[in-house]
Amino acid sequence: MTVGLAGEQLAELGAMADSRAQVRMFSDDGICVHDPVLMRRALEYVKAFDGVVAQHAQEPRLTAGPR
C-alpha cells in the first residue's frame, strides 16, 4: 500500500486499480502504516474506485522484542 517499507508515501493505488489486473484490495500486511493521516488518505483514495484496505493494526510501542 506504501512505497517501500517506510510507510511514508502511498503506492500508485489508482494506477493499480486502472491496470489490466484491476487491483481492488491493498494491504500494509506485516509492516503497519503508523501515520494516521497517510492511512486516512489511503482509505479515502480507494473509496473512489470501490477499493478495500486490509490494515495490519499494530501499535509498535506495545510490541516487544525483534520482528
Count Cβ atoms within 10 A of the Cβ of residue 25 and give its class: 0-12 exposed, 13-18 middle, 19 or more buried: exposed
38-41, long-range: CB < 8 A, 24+ apart: 38/2, 38/7, 38/8, 38/10, 41/10
Helix (H, G, I), strand (E, B) or coil at 25: strand
Residue 52 has a pLDDT of: 94
Residue stretches of the chain with pLDDT short of 50: none
Residue at 6: amino acid letter: A
Residue 49 has a pLDDT of: 93
Give pTM, 2 decimals.
0.74
